[in-house]
């Protein structure tokens, strides 16, 4: 499908969002690292998780797919016969790079050019500190076994996935691993999610209160049953839709989740949205929103949604913590700025802040290959004065393949 036309409309109804992409990646890998059979209930099937699944399969993990579960038999790896292709999934590339350090022999990982431009050097340096032969050559990441363990230092302000990758494999090193961060950890909730998932598979990680130091003793993962949570990031688009274009009820959300995008509840409350938060669901109604000062440092995937809300809020919103947005599937700061201006919304950016003056957005042609940008502007298109045309709608298959089907159900 080349494009979708979004007309002005009102959302009304109830929706169950798909399972968490981040949680699915971690569950798959942890099951693969466990010696035996695990059952993953309600995994998210999307392009990114299928990339992780294919990479695990190529190194010897057996995965059988049921209707609403995956049975994963792990613990026995072999060197892959061909390069591991990670498509456009940064999570797959970074986590699987660490996993490959446990395999006897050489692994070569690659992906789409846009993926291979994203940062990975700090992770490779840390792996080398721990005994692994790891390097990048053009569009290839080359990893050879010898994960000894020991001590390493790594930056925490580029991608939390580097730390998650190290944590996932460290229990299987030949000796204890100590990780020290040389800069503050951003997106810390993703690291806590990783540690919580490890605990579900029988491994404990010791860490300092400020999340700057981690110590992982040699341990083994235990296979078991793991239920993947509903995805707060996917939910955020429809919660925003309710706040600006109707009334939406989102079911099956874990209020105690480690997912950082649960922060959308706080942002909506700060903007004055009519919101009811219950144990497993959230209801949001169309509201007169006010400008916000929002820090997305720990929840960068909420940036497009916060921009959409700010575009119709009264006053000028200030969004901080935007430095790492250039490392996403696109340079999200530039993409949002460009497309908001197309809709007649005034913006201003500095090195670490983005200002949005709320107004009355007009329809526009949105041409982006970033799944979160596309979903955000599809929601904003519901209240524009003229129609909005969204190009490349199929890119949502990266995280939320049924997004437009679910949107149509609510109209």
Tell me the pLDDT tens digit for each residue of 332-387: 999 999 999 999 999 999 988 999 999 999 999 999 999 999 999 999 999 998 99
Identify the helix (H) or strand (E) that includes residue 319: strand 316-320
Instruction: Name 316's Cβ contacts closer than 8 Å, sequence gap at least 6.
Output: 291, 355, 356, 357, 358
How much is the mean pLDDT over the chain? 97
- 11-27 pLDDT, tens digit each: 999 999 999 999 999 99
Q: Say what the pTM is.
A: 0.95
At 369 the pLDDT is: 93
Q: Is the pLDDT of residue 327 over 80?
A: no
- 56-72 pLDDT, tens digit each: 999 999 999 999 999 99
- Percent of the chain whose pLDDT exceeds 90: 95
At 110 the pLDDT is: 99
Task: Please tell me the distance from the alpha carbon of residue 190 to that of residue 22, in angstroms, as a whole number.
Answer: 8
Torsion 294-298-303-305 (CA) sign: negative
Mean pLDDT of all residues in 99-123: 96
At 163 the pLDDT is: 99
Instruction: Name 78's Cβ contacts closer than 8 Å, sequence gap at least 6.
Output: 59, 60, 103, 104, 105
Task: Read off the tokens for 405.
Answer: 């089907």
Q: Which are the catalytic amino acids?
A: 301
Mean pLDDT of all residues in 272-285: 97
- 192-234 pLDDT, tens digit each: 999 999 999 999 999 999 999 999 999 999 999 999 999 999 9
Task: Please tell me the distance from the alpha carbon of residue 153 to that of residue 395, in angstroms, as a whole number.
Answer: 36
- Same CATH fold, 21-227 and 3-18+230-410? yes
At 208 the pLDDT is: 98
Mean pLDDT of all residues in 139-161: 95
Q: 84 has which bridge partners?
A: 109
At 271 the pLDDT is: 99
**Domain 21-227: which CATH number of 3.40.640.10, 3.30.70.1710, 3.30.300.180, 3.65.10.10:** 3.65.10.10
Looking at residue 34, the DSSP 8-state letter turns out to be S
Task: Please tell me the distance from the alpha carbon of residue 378 to that of residue 144, in angstroms, as a whole number.
Answer: 44
> Is it true that domain 3-18+230-410 has CATH number 3.40.50.880?
no
At 266 the pLDDT is: 98
- 237-261 pLDDT, tens digit each: 999 999 999 999 999 999 999 999 9
Task: Read off the tokens for 331.
Answer: 């340079």
Q: Is the pLDDT of residue 329 over 70?
A: no
Task: Please tell me the distance from the alpha carbon of residue 131 to that of residue 146, in angstroms, as a whole number.
Answer: 6
Range with the lowest mean pLDDT among 54-58, 142-146, 153-157?
A: 142-146
Mean pLDDT of all residues in 291-310: 97
Mean pLDDT of all residues in 96-121: 96
**Domain range summary for the chain, segments of one domain joined by +:** 3-18+230-410, 21-227
């Amino acid at each position: 499908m080349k494009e979708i036309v979004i007309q002005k409309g009102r959302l009304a109804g109830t929706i169950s969002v798909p399972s968490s992409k981040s949680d699915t990646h971690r569950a798959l890998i942890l099951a693969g690292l466990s010696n035996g059979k695990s059952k993953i209930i309600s995994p998210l099937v999307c392009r990114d998780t299928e990339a992780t699944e294919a990479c695990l399969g190529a190194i010897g993990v057996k995965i059988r797919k049921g209707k609403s579960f995956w049975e994963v038999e792990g613990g026995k790896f072999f060197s892959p016969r061909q390069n591991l292709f990670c498509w456009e999934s940064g999570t797959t590339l970074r986590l699987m790079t660490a996993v490959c350090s446990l395999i006897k022999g050489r692994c070569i990982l690659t992906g789409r050019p846009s993926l291979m431009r994203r940062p990975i050097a700090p992770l490779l340096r840390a792996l080398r500190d721990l005994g692994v032969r790891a390097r990048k050559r053009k569009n290839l990441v080359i990893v050879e076994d010898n994960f000894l363990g020991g001590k390493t230092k790594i930056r925490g302000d580029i991608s939390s996935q580097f730390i998650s990758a190290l944590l996932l494999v460290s229990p299987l090193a030949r000796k204890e691993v100590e990780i020290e961060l040389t800069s503050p950890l951003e997106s810390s909730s993703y690291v806590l999610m990783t540690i919580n998932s490890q605990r579900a598979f029988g491994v404990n990680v010791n860490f300092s209160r400020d999340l700057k130091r981690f110590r992982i003793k040699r341990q083994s993962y235990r296979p078991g049953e793991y239920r993947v949570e509903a995805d707060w990031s996917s939910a955020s688009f429809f919660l925003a839709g309710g706040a600006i274009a109707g009334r939406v009820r989102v079911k099956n959300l874990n209020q105690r989740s480690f997912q950082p995008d649960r922060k959308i509840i706080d942002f909506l409350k700060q903007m004055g949205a009519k919101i009811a938060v219950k144990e497993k669901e959230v209801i949001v109604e169309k509201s007169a929103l006010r400008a916000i000062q929002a820090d997305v440092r720990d929840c960068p995937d909420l940036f497009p949604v916060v921009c959409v809300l700010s575009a119709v809020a009264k006053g000028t919103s200030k969004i901080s913590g935007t430095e790492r947005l250039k490392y996403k599937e696109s340079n999200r700061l530039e993409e949002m700025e460009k497309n908001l201006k197309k809709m007649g919304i005034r913006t201003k950016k500095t090195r670490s802040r983005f200002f949005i003056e709320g107004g009355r957005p007009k329809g526009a042609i949105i041409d982006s290959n970033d799944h979160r940008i596309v979903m955000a502007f599809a929601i904003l298109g519901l209240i524009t004065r003229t129609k909005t045309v969204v190009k490349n709608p199929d890119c949502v298959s990266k995280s939320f393949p049924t997004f437009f089907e679910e949107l149509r159900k609510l109209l």
